[in-house]
Amino acid sequence: MTPRQLHDLFRTQIADTIEPFLFSKDEIYEYMTDAQRMLTRFTEGIPDASSPDVTCLEFGPEEEFAVMSPLVLFIRGASRASDRREIEVLNIEDFRYGTGGLTIDHDYLPGLAGPNAGFSDTLTWRDKRGPQINAIILGMERNKARAFPICTTGETIKIEVYRLPRGELTEQKNCHFEVDEQHHRHLLLWMKSLGYAKQDVDIRDDKKAANYEEQFMAYCDKAKREQGRAKHKPRTVLYGGI
| CA dist 76 → 89, 90, 197 (Å) | 8, 11, 36
Q: Does position 82 have pLDDT exceeding 80, yes or no?
A: yes
Instruction: Pick the more confident residue, 195 or 125.
Output: 195
Compute the average pLDDT of residues 33-44. 96
Between residues 118 and 25, which one has the greater pLDDT? 25
- Looking at residue 92, its pLDDT comes to 85
Cis peptide before 20 (omega within 30 of 0): yes
Whether residue 73 has pLDDT greater than 80: yes
* Residue 236, number of CB atoms within 10 A of its CB: 4
Rounded mean pLDDT of 155-168? 97
pLDDT above 80 (res 233): no
DSSP structural state of residue 234: P
109 pLDDT exceeds 60? no
Beta strands in the chain (DSSP E): 46-48, 56-59, 65-67, 72-80, 86-91, 129-130, 135-138, 144-148, 150-151, 155-163
pLDDT at 46: 95
Residues 196-221 have pLDDT tens digits of 999 999 899 999 999 999 999 999 99
Phi, psi of 147 (to 5 degrees): -80, 145
Q: What is the pTM of this model?
A: 0.81
